[in-house]
Amino acid sequence: MNLGRRDFLAGTGAAFAAGALPVQARADSVQFPFANGERPLMAFPQKRPMIVLTPRPPQLETPFALFDQGVITPNDAFFVRWHLPSIPQQVDATAHRIGVSGEVTTPLLLSMDDLAKLPAVEVTAVNECSGNSRALSSPRVPGGQWFNGAMGNAVWTGVRLRDILDRAGLKPSAKQIQFDGLDAGVFPATPDFKKSLDVGVARGDDVIVAYAMNVAPLPLLNGYPVRLVVPGWYSTYWVKMLSAITVLDHVDDNFWMKTAYRIPDTPDNAVAPGSSGFPTIPINRLRVRSFITNLSDGGTIKRGTQELRGIAFDGGSGIKRVEVSTDGSTTWRDATLERDYGKYSFRRWNAAADVRAGTPFVVAVRATANDGTTQPVTQGWNPSGYLRNAIETYKVSVS
C-alpha cells in the first residue's frame, strides 16, 4: 500500500456506527501466566481479535506471538489504551482542528490541510505504555493488569511539533506545552486527559504530530485523525485525537501530570513495597528491554539446534548489544542484531541455541543500549508498576 499523503489528511474516515462501541462476540480467551490472568479475545472496529483488559474504556493488548512476525506491528494488531470511557465513535477529519494557544504570539487553528503544508517527516518508533507488564509486578499493584503486549512499533508520518510551535511563536514565558485530545470524562468532575512536556523536549527533532501509521490513516482507537508521537518516551505523552496544544507559563499541575504517571525520584526509581511519602517525578523515557519472541515461558521447544529470535529497544539511544544465557545467567553470548530501523525502533535479533533433551531449557535475554544502560536482574518496585525492564527468563520443556 502506498497512499498519497493527502489520503491521510482529507475526507471523513474511520467511522463506527453511533452508539456503544460495537464489539464482536467473544471468540476465544487466553490465559496469562499470573493469577487472575484469563482474558477474552475480541475484535473491535479496525482491529483483529485482541486481548481485552476492559472493553470500556477500550484497553486491548497485542497477543505476544505477533511480535515474532516482523519488526513493525500491524495497525489492526496494535495495542489500545484509553483512560476515559467517552471517546468519539467517529471523527470527521475535514472538520477536525488543532488549536494552538496560550503563551504564543499567534494563536492558530490548524486543519489537516494546514498540516499537509508543513514538511512531512517519518520516524519508526516504539509506543510502550508506562504500565506494560504491570501484572508481573511483585507484590502486585492496582491498575490495568497488562502482560507484555502493551507496546508496538510503527512507522509514524506527520509534521514536526517544532514547526507548529515556531509558526505560533513561543513567548519567552513558555515553560511547558500541554496536549489534549477529543476524549472526555462522562462526568464533568472527571479530570480531562491532558499531558505536558517541557519546551526543550517538545521542540526535539523527532517529536511529531502524526497523521499516518504504517503508511495508512491511524485506526480510530489509536487516535484518528492525528496524534502526538514522542519517540523514546512512554506513550502516556502520545496524546491521541489531538485537538489542543496549549503553551503554559508554568509546570502543568493537572491531575494527569501532578498525581498520575509519576515515578519515585530515587535511585533506580524504586521504593520498598508499601512505601509512601517519597518524592516523585513525571515518568519519562523508555527503559531498555528485550524479549524472546519465538518462545513463551512455560512452552515447549524441540531438541537440537534451535534459532532464538526476539526484539530489543530503549529510550532512543539505540540498541548496542543483545546477549543470551542458557546456563542460569552465568555466561552470556552475543546475539546477532538484524537490520537497524533507527534508534527508536524495535531491533530484531537472533541467536542459535543447543537444546538438549532431559532437562527444561532455560534461557535469558539481556540488551544493552548505546547510552550504556542495561537490564536489571531483579525488578525494582514502584506503587504503579511502571518501568518494568528486568531481564526476562524463559523456561520451556523439551520435546
Ligand X SMILES: Nc1nc2c(c(=O)[nH]1)N[C@H]1C(S)=C(S)[C@@H](COP(=O)(O)O)O[C@H]1N2
- Where do contacts with ligand X occur on this chain (CB under 6 A)? 78-83, 127, 129, 181, 183, 193, 222-223, 235-236, 238-241
Closer residue to ligand X, CB minimum distance, 9 or 242:
242
Phi, psi of 155 (to 5 degrees): -90, 120
Q: Of these partners, Mo ion, ligand X, none, which one is at the site of residue 115 (CB under 5 to 8 Å by kind)?
A: none
**Of 64-72, 85-93, 230-238, 363-371: span binding Mo ion (CB under 5 A):** 230-238
178 binds, among Mo ion, ligand X, none (CB under 5 to 8 A by kind): none
Nearer to ligand X, 143 or 204 (CB): 143
Residue ranges in 140-244 assigned as alpha helix (H):
161-168, 199-202
Closest residue by Cα to residue 222 from 98, 93, 286, 127: 127
Distance of closest approach, residue 4 Cβ to ligand X, in angstroms: 24
Q: Is 240 exposed, middle or buried (0-12, 13-18, 19+ CB in 10 A)?
A: buried
Residue 110: CB minimum distance to Mo ion, A: 26
Q: Mind spelling out the 3-state secondary structure of 350-384?
A: EEEEEECCCCCEEEEEEEEECCCCECCCCCCCCCC
d(CA 332, CA 277): 40
Environment class of 204 (CB within 10 Å of its CB; exposed 0-12, middle 13-18, buried 19+): middle
Considering only 50, 52, 123, 129, the residue that binds Mo ion (CB under 5 A) is 129
Q: Choose from ligand X, Mo ion, none: what does 183 bind? Cβ within 5-8 Å by kind.
A: ligand X
Cell numbers for 324? 543470551
Q: Which of residues 25-44 bind Mo ion (CB under 5 A)?
A: none
Choose the one of ligand X, Mo ion, none that binds residue 134, judging by a C-beta under 5 to 8 angstroms depending on kind: none
CB of 378 to ligand X, least distance (A): 25
The strand pairing partners of 288, in sequence order, are none
User: Which is nearer to Mo ion, 81 or 347 (by Cβ)?
Assistant: 81
Q: 132, 244, 263: which is closest to 192 by C-alpha? A: 244
Which amino acid type is present at position 118? L
Q: Is 53 in the site for Mo ion (CB under 5 A)?
A: no
Cβ neighbours of residue 3 closer than 8 Å, sequence gap 6 or more: 212, 215, 216
- Measured from the CB atom, the residue of 81 and 347 that comes closer to ligand X is 81
For residue 127, the partner it binds in ligand X, Mo ion, none, with Cβ less than 5 to 8 A by kind, is: ligand X
Q: How far apart are CA 241 and CA 13, in angstroms?
A: 13
Q: How far is the CB of 93 from ligand X (least distance, A)?
A: 16
What is the smallest separation between the CB atom of 175 and ligand X, expressed in angstroms? 22
8 versus 386: smaller Cβ distance to Mo ion: 386
| Contacts (CB under 5 A) with Mo ion, residues 77-96 | 81
Interface residue list for Mo ion (CB under 5 A)? 81, 129-130, 236
